[in-house]
Amino acid sequence: MTEAVQSEGKLANPFMDAPNAKKMMTLIAVYLGVMANLMVSTTNSIVFPAAAAEIGGMEIYGLAQGISGILSVCVMPIFGFIAARNPATKRLLAGGGFAAGAIVLLVRVFAPNMMAIIIANIFWGLVSGAVFAVGFTMVRDMYDKQKAGVYLGLVGTMMSAAMLIGPFFGGFIVDNVSWRVWSAVPMVFLAVAAVLMFFGVKATKAEAEPFAVKGGKFDFAGAAAITVFLAALIIVLSMGSSYVPFGSTLSFVLLAVSAVALVVLVFIIKKKGNDAIVPVKALKDRNTMVFAGANFLHNFGAMTISFFIGGFIMRTLATDPICEAIGPALAAGIASALMAVLGLFLGPIFGKMIAKSGNAKGVMTLGNIVRIIVMGAFVFVLVPGVPAWVIYILMFVAGIFNSQQTVTQSAGPQIQLTPDLRTLGNSVVQLGSNLGAGIGMAVFTLLVAADPASGMRMCMIVALAAWVVLFFITFLLKPLPESVEDAD
């Protein structure tokens, strides 16, 4: 740890010393970015088909979703590297990411054809980088551990609110007004977030210098290698059931390119050490890797719930009394919404618990127990004829571990990583989310396609196994030494 970091608590801190009004502007900007990001992701599945039906492109609209995941994965380590070397740039990175997202949605509002939406959506990943790689660390920069825990816990509340607003409010607008009008709603959120971020807490490079991670120049070679590695991998995983079929020549070529880029990346990391785009210190830090692994395993298994439960209700339970009364589509939407209800209240509670103990292990263990129970129940109840209300109860209870996960990924790394690793380590942690979701989608899609009759149950069993592993690796988390906490 550098001398500057060791004495961090004794230095004038331009982030913590900023006026409260400036802090609140930055905090609200992060919250708006979180909500807009989820409002868009939860409604893309209805916006893109509606847009294609109006402006054409039914055969290609799926590309818009798949292509957006490429940049979102790549920018995590790049944003983290830049922000760690120069903390003063965090405001520009976050604000720029929000502004880019607003422009993407503005293009969507006025798009003359589907290709315009697809091209613009390439840059949607900048929003994810702004929120997850930079935004969460900014909250910790501005507040001490206790306050940061509560404020980052409220991220769970914002995500839950967005999960309710998106499917219901967004679905209503798309069905009854226009997909263009709905696209303008999160656009306004991001535009306001960008303005608030730019006028919020700021620091000059000189003021932020004592809190910067010391090291060499930007790792362009590493950035290129990790971009090629992740981009090729995500293209195969996200488009394996559509534009780049699994087992096709193109998929094998992309996997080969990804593998070569990974080898190059490993060589660069070995050569440059802590100056690499993914520093060795982060890869060797236990808490960083546990949080990254937890993100990966949770999102891997969560694809079974977020992607398949609604489809199961619509296809298999169409004759259920609830489905017949309100319609299978609305019945499926209610199932997803129920998982967000508890998160409205549990977020700040979980955040405060993590901050008070200095360790996310307790909150994660609680979530893991509920996670395993719920998934174990789904293994047995997802059969034709199960009452819809049984699934509703399980989805409501699933809100406990869903809230735990959102709070853990936002607050955990900020509380439990050392100051010199907080930004870089957080970018590695958030990388696990995207990879877990992408790989989970690919694996479960293949399982269902291979055996439509029992594929659903096999998906749940695989997810359950992943979550059992998650349960055990949680116990590897350790609180920071008191000396580090005191200096923080």
Q: Please, what's the b/e burial string for 155-167 (b: 16 or more CB within 10 A of its CB; e: otherwise)?
A: bbbbbbbbbbbbb
Closest CA to 414 of 158, 202, 143: 143
pLDDT at 259 over 70: yes
What local confidence, expressed as pLDDT, does residue 6 receive? 39
Q: Among 40-44, 172-176, 355-359, which range has the highest average pLDDT?
A: 355-359
- DSSP assignment of 362-388 equals HHHHHHHHHHHHHHHHHHHH-STT--H
User: Which structure tokens are listed for 181?
Assistant: 């009008």
pLDDT at 360 over 70: yes
Q: At residue 8, what is the residue type?
A: E
220-243 average pLDDT score = 83
Integer angstrom CA distances of residue 155 from 23, 132, 149, 194, 442: 16, 11, 10, 18, 28
Query: Sign (positive/negative) of CA torsion 65, 70, 71, 72?
Result: positive
Higher pLDDT, 243 or 282: 282
Least confident of 64-73, 139-148, 222-231, 413-422: 64-73
404-429 average pLDDT score = 89
pLDDT at 258 over 60: yes
Least confident of 288-292, 428-432, 468-472: 428-432
User: Which structure tokens are listed for 488?
Assistant: 């923080």
Tell me the pLDDT tens digit for each residue of 15-33: 999 999 999 999 999 999 9
Higher pLDDT, 104 or 218: 104
**What percent of the chain has pLDDT above 90?**
48
420-432 average pLDDT score = 86
The DSSP secondary-structure symbol of 479 reads P
Whether residue 359 contacts residue 407, with contact meaning beta carbons closer than 8 Å, is answered with no
Q: Residues with Cβ < 8 Å from 242, sequence gap 6 or more?
A: 62, 66
What local confidence, expressed as pLDDT, does residue 5 receive? 42
User: How far out from the chain centre does Cα 428 lie?
Assistant: 12
Instruction: Report the C-alpha gap between 462 and 55 in whole angstroms.
Output: 40
Q: Residues with Cβ < 8 Å from 352, sequence gap 6 or more?
A: 146, 149, 150, 153
Whether residue 225 contacts residue 268, with contact meaning beta carbons closer than 8 Å, is answered with yes
What local confidence, expressed as pLDDT, does residue 485 receive? 54
pLDDT at 254 over 50: yes
User: How far out from the chain centre does Cα 414 lie?
Assistant: 15
What local confidence, expressed as pLDDT, does residue 286 receive? 93
pTM of the model as a whole: 0.86
Integer angstrom CA distances of residue 103 from 119, 194, 472, 473: 12, 11, 43, 40
Instruction: Report the C-alpha gap between 235 and 66 in whole angstroms.
Output: 7
Show the domains of the chain with their CATH numbers: 1-219 (1.20.1250.20), 282-488 (1.20.1250.20)
| Residue 3 pLDDT grade (very low, low, confident, very high; cuts 50, 70, 90) | very low
Instruction: Report the C-alpha gap between 417 and 26 in whole angstroms.
Output: 22
109-118 average pLDDT score = 93
pLDDT at 444 over 60: yes
Tell me the pLDDT tens digit for each residue of 308-342: 787 788 778 888 898 888 887 778 778 888 988 99
Integer angstrom CA distances of residue 487 from 17, 18, 205, 273, 281: 16, 19, 22, 26, 20
Instruction: Report the C-alpha gap between 466 and 440 in whole angstroms.
Output: 10
pLDDT at 379 over 50: yes
Whether residue 278 contacts residue 77, with contact meaning beta carbons closer than 8 Å, is answered with yes
Query: Sign (positive/negative) of CA torsion 316, 317, 323, 324?
Result: positive
Tell me the pLDDT tens digit for each residue of 73-111: 788 888 988 998 899 999 999 999 999 999 999 999 999
